[in-house]
A and B are shown apart, each in its own frame.
Chain A
């Protein structure tokens, strides 16, 4: 596949105001060529505005976007070489699937034969080769999103901008498309920024992550790094950690796993950090059994000693306890991270 050389994207001191509302506040972010960065934040945090500003669809109030070092102010959206993929695809329903995919090629007056070949290639790539003549209105949500992706790639973008690409889909479809999306984007080697409120989606798609809150970037870096040391309690919560331990409880965990986290620091722990285990070191009373899904149960545990109240899970091969049962618990340090 012939691609434009992937671009470096730099967002410098960017602010976007809507009237008195400050949607994006002094954001700095660098995305290396070919890198996939997830901007992760709750709805309304300004992440979509950030993406639209990079695409050139929203004017920055202050600061700028640079692509390969070139200031993008004054460059109209259609000349930016960055393609925005909307949450719900925004397919052109009055055109066929193939015409949708070939849209950018037609705009650039690519010869018909060459364009047709490229469209066929891209439809194969997203696994919908047989859909070429269908109307987009007849497609399912997942198929529409695949077509939208093929249409975006046809524009041969320097930068691919994905706005919640999976959130309009069913749970099951989401995980399948997420894998395909991750593969296709990586294979294309195009610099990608994906905006999402779902940390699982971010983990599947991205290698870098930027946490965004109330218009500001809270923390950014390689995925493992951010994941391994959330900056604060909010970041930990948003990354999917179920609880924060501090004081004596944190000390007890540190002592228990024999690994030195920052002394006196707080710890973020997933429920899976505390596992029922008949060989475990800690005794605890089950105060509540919570069925989260058909196969998944979390437990509220009242632990002995300084550990106190924690949320845990049932260990592999262990019986699901009842409220009031006494159980033994062990700690899985892989699911614990220091905060800060």
Chain B
């Protein structure tokens, strides 16, 4: 069989999965919007854009994402330089703490910020509860780790000889900074900024928990329109806006990312701190405070009851199934979450590895190049479509034959796996692309079939990243809220859904219970991520 036919055959399974669980549901949602009552009515969708509220929502989305990006970069870049470029006691611990927000579920962050800013909270006097500022701060909290990570690694891998060369050519400190440092870091900063804007523009859980009904982004508006107003035309219109924003950003970030400089082989050793670093240190302290304060507020609220340390709220959570307005205990919700997350992780890892292996085969003809390029592009799609759109699409498309998954326990895991899938693919493909193609050719030439090449060349190198990717997929799945909120069955909610339910109940007691549940969720996720990341770094897992 011709190679292209083999590659095409291996593409069938992932493409079928994508069509059934992504294109069909999302398409169904769009169809409902454009063909209300079975008649094509694009005017109805166009009309959505004339509503003042729609424009306000789009405006708020762009404004909040833009502001978030500016603040995150302003705080994150100096912090990254200090964390990854200078030598001081405790910097590793602080650097590790900076990575925590990235894996925290949105609802956990939402609860933490509500606690911090609510009237009885530490910063309640600021009166920021339910304000746009609170939303932006929470999104900065989330994304600062993205900037610190991307810029920090670029900073660590920079070639110090360039700056040295400039200095020997007579450039002073400021000139070196302007002519060497800025151009070398610019691509990493631009890449980080575009990722942050993307995350901020598609944020859901944070906005929903903090903004309530006053502030709405495109993503939460889609949710409100479908769930509370049953306005599918409005939701479809906004879904298209969302898709456009994301596609433009992803194309832009891919452009920026590609121009990144090659990794230097010369290791840069961190230098001691200097008084010149004071402004950067101020940024670091501010960023640190922004990360630590909500986590602290969350933790203390969860374990303090009537002025003393107590596990009262955990006790109440454990018995919450007796309260009909909550209807589920912490244990039940946690076990649902873990079961679903395990299934979702398995699906995401198997499918992600499959796709990563497929798209990293070197095309030998232009036909093969088109096929593999197409597959590669196709599986970035799930990143671009709002989780809410996906969840709602599941709800309306997968409830009738031939795709009747209503009562299947797999619906939620499948949705979460699709949300986690791009992450898995994006973790694995760079590793696989990093393998010298001539190694595979050497194996082929020695008589190894394509399958044997994968088994003996690709898989041994992808083992550790795969464990890390599985850890992240698990974290994403445990915390997934947008899609899950549509399709999880009311009698067996996941932990994030339980938290959201608790926030919606009146009374400080319920908010404290939400904090306790959020703490449990955060701890489970952090343990999993730390363990898998360790395995990744230390090589516990050997293939």
Footprint of B on A, CB under 8 Å? 52, 55-59, 74, 76-79, 82-84, 86, 90, 92, 94, 103-104, 107-108, 151-152, 154-155, 161
Contact = CB atoms under 8 A, between A and B. Distances in A.
A59 B457 CA distance: 22
Interface stretch (B216-224, B304-312, B384-392, B438-446): B438-446
A94 B446 contact: no
B452 interface: yes
16 contacts: A52-B441, A55-B441, A57-B445, A77-B441, A84-B441, A86-B441, A90-B436, A90-B441, A92-B442, A92-B456, A94-B461, A103-B456, A107-B447, A107-B449, A107-B456, A151-B446
B447 A57 contact: no
Given A82-B445, A92-B442, A108-B447, 14 more contacts: A55-B441, A76-B3, A78-B444, A78-B447, A78-B449, A83-B447, A84-B445, A90-B436, A90-B439, A92-B456, A107-B448, A107-B449, A107-B456, A151-B446
Nearest to A57: B441
B364 interface: yes
A77 B445 contact: yes
B228 interface: no
B97 to A, nearest CB: 34
Interface string B154-189: 000000000000000000000000000000000000
Contacts of B444: 56-57, 77-78
A86 B438 CA distance: 8
Give the 5 A-B residue pairs with the shortest CB-CB distance, closest first. Answer: A90-B442, A84-B445, A104-B446, A77-B444, A155-B446
Q: Which of B2, B436, B447 has the most CB of A within 10 A?
A: B447
B365 interface: yes
B409 interface: no
By secondary structure, the A interface counts as mixed
Contacts of B457: 92
B460 interface: yes
Contacts of A86: 438, 441-442
A208 B444 CA distance: 27
A90 B447 CA distance: 15
A78 B452 CA distance: 10
Q: Which of A55, A59, A77, A161 has the most CB of B within 10 A?
A: A77
A161 B457 CA distance: 21
A279 B233 CA distance: 105
A103 B445 CA distance: 11
A108 B460 CA distance: 19
Q: Which of A56, A57, A59, A86 has the most CB of B within 10 A?
A: A57
Contacts of B449: 76, 78, 107
B445 A94 contact: no
Interface in B428-473: 436, 438-439, 441-450, 452, 456-457, 460-461
Nearest to B366: A19
A82 B3 CA distance: 19
Contacts of B450: 78
Contact of B445 (A55, A59, A74): A55
Contacts of B441: 52, 55, 57, 77, 84, 86, 90
Contacts of A58: 364
A107 B3 contact: no
A155 B442 contact: no
A104 B449 CA distance: 11
A151 B439 CA distance: 13
B439 A78 contact: no
A28 B441 CA distance: 25
A154 B441 CA distance: 16
Contacts of B452: 78, 107
A78 B448 contact: yes
Contacts of A78: 444-450, 452
A52 B452 CA distance: 20
B460 A94 contact: yes
B156 to A, nearest CB: 23
A59 B436 CA distance: 20
Contacts of B461: 94
Given A103-B456, A107-B452, A152 B446 contact: yes
Q: Which of A79, A82, A107, A154 has the most CB of B within 10 A?
A: A107
Contacts of A82: 445
Contacts of A152: 446
Contacts of A57: 441, 444-445
Given A84-B441, A90-B438, A92-B439, A103 B446 contact: yes
A84 B446 CA distance: 8
Contacts of A83: 445-447
A59 B365 contact: yes
B441 to A, nearest CB: 5
Contacts of A52: 441
Contacts of A161: 445
B463 to A, nearest CB: 10
B25 to A, nearest CB: 39
Contacts of A151: 446
A90 B444 CA distance: 12
Contacts of A79: 447
Q: Which of B438, B439, B442, B460 has the most CB of A within 10 A?
A: B442
A188 to B, nearest CB: 16
A21 B500 CA distance: 61
A201 to B, nearest CB: 20
Contacts of B438: 86, 90
A103 B453 CA distance: 11
A84 B442 contact: yes
Given A59-B364, A86-B438, A92-B457, A103 B443 contact: yes
Q: Which of B365, B441, B460 has the most CB of A within 10 A?
A: B441
Interface string B345-358: 00000000000000
Contacts of A84: 441-442, 445
Q: Which of B2, B439, B446 has the most CB of A within 10 A?
A: B446
A90 B452 CA distance: 17
A336 to B, nearest CB: 42
Contacts of B446: 78, 83, 103-104, 107, 151-152, 154-155
Contacts of A92: 439, 442-443, 456-457
Q: Which of B445, B448, B460 has the most CB of A within 10 A?
A: B445
Interface string B365-378: 10000000000000
A220 to B, nearest CB: 24
B9 to A, nearest CB: 15
Contacts of B460: 94
Nearest to A79: B447
